[in-house]
Amino acid sequence: MSDALKHECGIAMIRLLKPLEFYKEKYGSAFYGVNKMYLMMEKQHNRGQDGAGFASIKLDTKPGERYISRVRSIAQQPIQDIFGQINDRVNKELEANPEYKNDVAAQKRNIPYIGEVLLGHVRYGTFGKNSVESVHPFLRQNNWMHRNLIMAGNFNMTNVKELFGNLIDLGQHPKEYTDTITIMEKIGHFLDDAVSKIYKDLKKEGYNKQQASPRIAKRLKVSKILKRAAKNWDGGYAMAGLIGHGDSFVLRDPAGIRPAYYYQDDEIVVVASERPVIQTVFNVKFEDVKELEPGHAIITKKSGQVGIKKILEPLERKACSFERIYFSRGSDAEIYQERKMLGKLLMPKVLEAIDNDTKNTVFSYIPNTAETSFFGMIETAEAFINKTKTSAILNGQRSLSAAKVTEILSERARIEKIAIKDVKLRTFITEDSSRDDLVAHVYDVTYGVIKPTDNLVIIDDSIVRGTTLKMSILKMLDRLNPKKIIVVSSAPQIRYPDCYGIDMARLESLVAFRAALALLKEANKYHIVKEVYNKCIEQTDLDDKNVQNFVKEIYDPFTNEQISDKISELLSDESIKAEVKIIFQPVENLHKACPKHLGDWYFTGNYPTVGGNRVVNRAFINFYEGNNERAY
């Protein structure tokens, strides 16, 4: 993606179902779980580089022994940093106490991080400060083992304000106004309540406090706690939690917006945000890794019993399509084919834009995630060229010379690596002038392969703000002196803000929205903007279920092509000599390519939860009033 987006987070959870001695004997190390967690987090580093965290729980420890370990980092390479810290601590303990080397019980008792229940998280910050205190996993501490709660997730809630108010109504005093703290405290409240009720029952049965503790662990119903806590949540989430005595869970939102996959055998239960992570790290087949169903939780009791429980009634499935276009690793078998299909489905529009002149067209892509869609586009281009070759040979019949036939057969799609990603924009540069200058040099180009008579077709996976296209890519491509530059987006026009995990909170930053405003001005229809604002204001006191997305009316007067053409105009100034055309994927083609992931709200405005309409209206009100606050 040419536009830098902060988005998504990645979760990884491992539950070892055998004693640590088993892993020492079979795999050579009692740190088997820690080693696997490192690999799982590294394989998901694409999902978050603002921070990383790790937590573990030891089962069946004695009073006075530490059983929870946690380490978090916001270093430049946070995953390497936290596992470097873990490695250093472990090595120091083993060097100081060589007798621990082959004594797993002593290792577990005396060395931190080793444990049977492990949780990892990689973070891109979309809400709250980017400090180490904002990095998951979060920890809610208590002297009662059962009331300790460790949480990490890939989520955003649209109704944090309401949930925060609920906590205050319960008599709590949350330490921060963030969705993570709010969610953790909500679960923690019902966890405390459940533990208290079970203890009262046990006391009536004649058990003292010490005797009650292990029985609480057995009787605690995690599914019931989650049902009570999640009742009013509105958002997209894959939420992982560890309870101090050893129960663990991962809960997925009822619309299936955020992804979660799991694998289970007699040695291990593992959950991750992406399927190929589990496949690679544990060397298992595609079909062995299951998708956690929307509204369901995978719950592992301290005893090792594993169950899938329905926590919330599933909604219409609206799994995030951006996961397939860009966020998730393209090594997933299904995602790879879907991205190729996105490229294939764009080719008819590309051929129309170049007047079927493949001889004088060079095809390329924006590194790196658009590469797979590029392969699909080229397969379709080759099929078109082969069809024209066949027609030329059949039409020529016997009049064709051998040389002419050879010439016809030699024609192929002209493929070149044109754009080269040269430097990563550093977030510590905040001045607009410095940032713009740096953006202009994010990409370099390959010189000497484009002729003045050539069209240059270059595919990107999506165009969000258009900043990098305008400031860098188009200017650099124009230096190659092509006749025409055609930028192809494998995603549709991004018209609406996201509120479920992607950092697209402000409408005015979206180039499609700016294009629609420009068209309204040209058509003397800018009064629609005020009308939409008034409609949004009228809805501010309505319940979320009654709110409509009136921002759609900004786009209604125009066709997709009109908005695409205006985007082309906005992103190319008078310094660009070549003709510029931008082509976007139609939404119906997105659905053909990704039939199981129909979450398309940022393209269509059809939000999968009732809170989405409130967020888009608030984003529009903020735009109209010149307010830079987030809409959620």
81-117 residue pLDDT tens: 999 999 999 999 999 999 999 999 999 999 999 999 9
Q: In the predicted model, what is the mean pLDDT of residues 426-446?
A: 56
Distance (Å) of CA 282 to CA 265, 277, 596, 611: 11, 8, 25, 38
- pLDDT recorded at residue 27: 97
The CA-based dihedral angle spanning residues 499, 504, 506, 510, taken in that order and rounded to the nearest 10 degrees: -130
The CA-based dihedral angle spanning residues 458, 464, 470, 476, taken in that order and rounded to the nearest 10 degrees: -30
C-alpha–C-alpha distance, residues 352 and 225, integer Å: 57
Q: Which helix (H) or strand (E) holds 581?
A: strand 579-584
C-alpha–C-alpha distance, residues 93 and 75, integer Å: 24
- pLDDT recorded at residue 431: 42
Q: In the predicted model, what is the mean pLDDT of residues 484-496?
A: 97
pLDDT value at 51 more than 60: yes
C-alpha–C-alpha distance, residues 623 and 611, integer Å: 19
- pLDDT recorded at residue 88: 96
- pLDDT recorded at residue 474: 94
Q: In the predicted model, what is the mean pLDDT of residues 477-492?
A: 96
C-alpha–C-alpha distance, residues 243 and 149, integer Å: 5
- pLDDT recorded at residue 423: 54
3-state helix, strand, coil in the chain (%, to 5): 45, 15, 40
pLDDT in tens, 121-150: 998 765 545 678 889 999 999 988 999 999
pLDDT value at 350 more than 70: yes
pLDDT band at 549 (very low <50, low <70, confident <90, very high): very high
What residue type is 219 in one-letter code? R
149 touches 67 (CB < 8 A): no
Q: In the predicted model, what is the mean pLDDT of residues 450-476?
A: 93
Q: Regarding predicted confidence, which is higher, 592 or 164?
A: 592
- pLDDT recorded at residue 143: 87
Q: Which helix (H) or strand (E) holds 623?
A: helix 610-625
pLDDT value at 553 more than 80: yes
- pLDDT recorded at residue 268: 98
- Global pTM value: 0.91
- pLDDT recorded at residue 172: 65
89's tokens: 């601590």
Please name the residues in contact with 12: beta carbons below 8 A apart, sequence gap of 6 or more. Answer: 37, 40, 41, 44, 119, 120, 121, 270, 271, 272, 273, 277
Q: In the predicted model, what is the mean pLDDT of residues 199-220?
A: 92
Cβ atoms within 10 Å of 457's Cβ, excluding its own: 31
Strand pairing class (117-123; 9-16): antiparallel
C-alpha–C-alpha distance, residues 317 and 296, integer Å: 13
pLDDT in tens, 160-201: 777 766 666 666 665 565 777 888 989 999 999 999 999 999
- pLDDT recorded at residue 205: 93
Distance (Å) of CA 214 to CA 142, 208, 337, 614: 16, 11, 49, 45
pLDDT value at 527 more than 80: yes
- pLDDT recorded at residue 399: 79
375's tokens: 């392969």
- pLDDT recorded at residue 432: 43
* DSSP 8-state symbol, 627: -
Q: Regarding predicted confidence, which is higher, 253 or 175?
A: 253
- pLDDT recorded at residue 329: 86
pLDDT value at 436 more than 60: no
Q: In the predicted model, what is the mean pLDDT of residues 345-356?
A: 96
- pLDDT recorded at residue 43: 95
What residue type is 36 in one-letter code? K
pLDDT-above-90 percentage for the chain: 74
Q: Which of 373-382, 406-415, 554-563 shows the lowest per-residue confidence on average (mean pLDDT)?
A: 406-415
pLDDT value at 8 more than 70: no
Mean per-residue pLDDT of the chain: 90
pLDDT-above-70 percentage for the chain: 91
- pLDDT recorded at residue 327: 84
- pLDDT recorded at residue 426: 44
- pLDDT recorded at residue 174: 59
328 touches 260 (CB < 8 A): no
Q: Regarding predicted confidence, which is higher, 411 or 530?
A: 530
Q: Which of 262-276, 328-342, 392-406, 493-507 shows the lowest per-residue confidence on average (mean pLDDT)?
A: 392-406
- pLDDT recorded at residue 427: 40
Q: Find, among 448, 470, 473, 443, the residue nearest to 458 by Cα.
A: 473
- pLDDT recorded at residue 428: 41
pLDDT in tens, 309-328: 999 999 999 999 999 998 88
